[in-house]
Each structure stands twice: as structure tokens, then as C-alpha cells.
């Protein structure tokens, strides 16, 4: 791969010199990034002559420009396209000067062939190579086990050749991590959803890489006394927020908070051990979510319904369908008192 970069670099230098000779009279002695003014046909010819796609060719042009213009870059143009043998020789010399305890040349060279392996395939008549694709599929799955679903989706937009991000094995792992914790029955049935990917996309679940919030406002007349600054005739608006953050502090747990601060300030509140955040449990059954929280003043039960179709993505919206509580002062055996719900109260997902 490094030898290929050496040859590509030499070809790019020749093209750059020819372009400068052809266009030098147009810029009064200045040398701008000439590849920006090339037509699409000229770029296509230049890219095909190097065996690259147009996008890869433009990326390499940008990299060359950045390396040449940067005064503080630790990589020079010579180092960027240094051969593998030169790198190994230089590292060996530097390590000998610093310490007598260094890896042998045989041990270092043995690692090189693995990293020089390329994944090559033909794409629209052009050769494509990628070091990430050359890794075994088990390594891809292991790396993705440390990522959440949003990070995996964003990574799939990096390159259309990263097919492992659409692998059924990856979505199988996501389904196990999600539904075996959240669902009431703790079962998985991919045949019902025609695959693991469709199951993770359409089977209801709560999102765990952020929090759900609901803004509530009430209007009432202020109490006029010597401690209030309100004037007669003014109306007082009381705004408060409800927050749910799932799978915190552990799997199957939820943090609940009822405060008067917005979502940006609530990030510091929704943490285990905070006095304003109360721990509870939850379970998902079909498209319904049942949350039970023990606060300092009451035992509270919420009944929620997951909905799709909102701009925040699947399962980024929950409708409050039921709200019951039992005051702590009446004891654990006291009955639950239902609270009025309008049916138009929604929790919206806010990603961290």
C-alpha cells in the first residue's frame, strides 16, 4: 500500500508541474491549488491515470496541499510517502540511540504484511482499496460492540464499501443488547420481523443514548403579598420539565427528574446520586412503556406509548397515557391516585 502511495505521489507531482506550466500565466506568479479550477473532465482523466476515483484523487490533492502549507505539521511530504523499509530503518536507529532494549527487526517486519493487506474491488471500472475492509469480520463486530446504534448509523455513511455495518450479525448483537434488557418477555424472534436488521428498526424500544423530556406550563394568578413583586392584574406562568433517562445507572434502570430547568442544564442533573434525580425501573411491552419510580415524596407510575414518525427518528416520541402516584406519607400499602392526562402530552427524545 505504501509503495503504491509512492508511485501515486510521483504521478501527482508530474501532473501538478504540468498544470502549473499551463496555467502559470493566469495567476501573476502565484501558485494556487490548481486542481480546484480543473473541469470535471480534466479531473476524471487525472484520476483515471492514477487508478483512483475522482473523490479519492481530490482527497489526496487536499492532503498534499495541507502538508505543503502547514508550518507545524509533524509529517513532511517526504515522510508521508516514505517507504516501509525506510520507516523501519529510521525507527530502529532512533531506538538504538535512546535505549539498548528494542524490538528486533524480525519481530517488527512480521507485523508489516498484515497492515499492508488491502481490500481491492472494482467499482464502476475503478479500483478501490480500504484498510478497514481488510480486517476480519469478527474484528468489525467486536469493535462495533462498543458503539451505540446512532454511532453505527453515522459510521455507515463514511463509505459504501463498509458492508460489515449492514451485517446481520451486527444487528443480532444490537438486538440482544437491547430487547433482552428492555422487553418484558426477554425473547427474540427475528423470523417475525424478517431479519435482525428489520427487527431492530421496527420493534419498539426506548433509546438510551440521551433522555426524553416533556415541557409543561401552567398559568395562574400570583399570590399578592409583601414577598411578591407581581403587580395586580399580572399572570404568572409556571414552567417545569419531566425527564426520563433509561438504562442509567445500570441496565433496566431509569432516572426520573421533575425540575424547572431546561434540557441543557438537566444534563448535569440526570446522574446517579444526584438529589434531584430518582431511580426507578421500566419495562417495554409491545409499544407501551411502564415506568415505576420511588421519589422522596411519592411512588409514581407512568404509562407511556411509543410513537414513530417524528423528526428525531424512530421511537423518539412517547405519549403519556397514564399517571398514578401514592404519597409516601400514607405508607406503602396506600392505593394509587390517578392523575388527569389530556392525551396530548408528549415526551421528546434529546440526544446527548
Q: Give me the residue label for grid cell 427487527.
A: 199
Percentage of the chain beyond pLDDT 90 is: 31
Q: Is the Cβ–Cβ distance between 236 and 228 less than 8 Å? A: no
What mean pLDDT comes out for the span 152-167? Answer: 83
What are 133's three cell numbers?
475492509
> What residues contact 98, with CB distance under 8 A and at least 6 apart?
none
Contact 305, 287 (CB under 8 A): yes
pLDDT tens digit sequence for 2-16: 455 455 555 555 555
Residue 53 has pLDDT above 90, yes or no: no
- Is the per-residue pLDDT at 90 higher than 60? no
Higher-confidence position of 96 and 331 = 331
Render the burial of 181-206: b for 16+ CB within 10 Å, e for the rest: bbbeeeebebeebeebbebbeebbbb
Question: What's the pLDDT at 300?
Answer: 94
Average pLDDT over the chain, rounded to an integer? 75
- With a pLDDT cut of 70, the percent of the chain lying above it is 67
Number of alpha carbons in the 13 Å side-chain half-sphere of residue 161: 16
Which pLDDT score is estimated for 36?
Answer: 65
Structural domain boundaries of the chain?
A: 2-82, 135-202, 210-351
pLDDT at 285 over 90: yes
From residue 308, alpha-carbon distances to 28, 38, 243, 263 in Å are 59, 46, 19, 22
Tell me what pLDDT residue 99 has.
44
pLDDT at residue 305 greater than cutoff 60: yes
Backbone Cα Rg of the chain: 30
Q: Is the pLDDT of residue 98 over 50?
A: no
pLDDT digits (tens, 9 = 90+) for 234-277: 777 789 999 999 998 899 999 999 999 999 999 999 999 899 99
pLDDT of residue 266: 92
Amino acid at each position: 500500500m505504501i509503495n503504491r502511495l509512492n508511485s501515486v505521489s510521483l504521478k501527482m507531482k508530474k501532473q501538478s508541474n504540468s498544470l502549473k506550466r499551463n496555467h502559470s500565466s493566469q495567476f501573476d506568479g502565484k501558485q494556487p491549488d490548481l486542481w480546484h479550477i480543473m473541469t470535471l473532465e480534466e479531473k476524471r482523466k487525472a484520476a483515471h491515470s492514477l487508478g483512483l476515483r475522482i473523490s479519492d484523487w481530490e482527497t489526496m490533492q487536499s492532503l498534499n496541499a495541507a502538508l505543503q502549507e502547514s508550518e507545524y505539521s509533524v509529517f513532511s511530504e517526504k515522510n508521508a510517502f516514505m517507504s516501509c523499509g525506510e520507516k523501519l530503518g529510521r525507527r530502529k536507529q532512533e531506538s538504538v540511540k535512546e535505549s539498548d532494549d528494542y524490538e528486533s527487526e524480525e519481530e517488527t517486519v512480521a507485523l508489516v504484511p498484515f497492515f499492508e493487506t488491502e481490500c481491492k474491488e472494482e467499482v464502476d471500472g475503478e479500483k478501490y482499496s480500504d484498510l478497514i475492509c481488510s480486517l476480519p469480520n469478527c474484528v468489525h463486530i467486536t469493535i462495533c460492540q462498543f458503539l451505540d446504534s446512532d454511532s453505527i448509523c453515522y459510521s455507515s455513511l463514511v463509505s459504501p464499501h463498509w458492508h460489515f455495518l449492514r451485517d446481520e450479525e451486527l444487528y443480532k448483537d444490537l438486538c440482544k443488547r437491547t430487547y433482552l434488557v428492555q422487553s418484558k418477555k426477554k425473547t427474540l424472534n427475528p423470523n417475525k420481523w424478517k431479519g435482525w436488521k428489520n427487527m431492530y428498526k421496527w420493534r419498539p424500544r426506548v433509546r438510551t443514548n440521551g433522555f426524553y423530556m416533556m415541557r409543561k406550563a401552567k398559568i395562574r394568578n400570583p399570590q399578592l403579598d409583601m414577598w411578591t413583586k407581581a403587580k395586580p392584574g399580572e399572570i404568572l406562568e409556571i414552567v417545569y420539565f419531566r425527564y426520563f433517562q433509561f438504562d442509567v445507572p445500570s441496565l433496566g434502570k431509569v432516572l426520573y427528574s421533575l425540575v424547572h430547568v431546561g434540557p441543557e442544564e438537566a444534563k448535569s442533573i440526570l446522574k446517579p446520586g444526584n438529589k434531584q434525580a430518582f431511580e426507578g425501573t421500566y419495562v417495554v411491552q409491545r409499544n407501551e412503556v411502564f415506568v415505576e419510580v420511588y421519589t422522596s415524596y411519592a411512588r409514581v407510575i407512568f404509562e407511556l406509548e411509543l410513537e414513530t414518525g417524528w423528526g428525531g427518528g424512530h421511537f423518539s416520541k412517547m405519549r403519556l397515557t397514564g399517571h398514578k402516584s401514592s404519597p409516601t406519607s400514607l405508607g406503602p400499602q396506600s392505593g394509587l391516585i390517578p392523575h388527569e392526562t389530556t392525551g396530548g402530552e408528549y415526551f421528546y427524545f434529546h440526544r446527548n
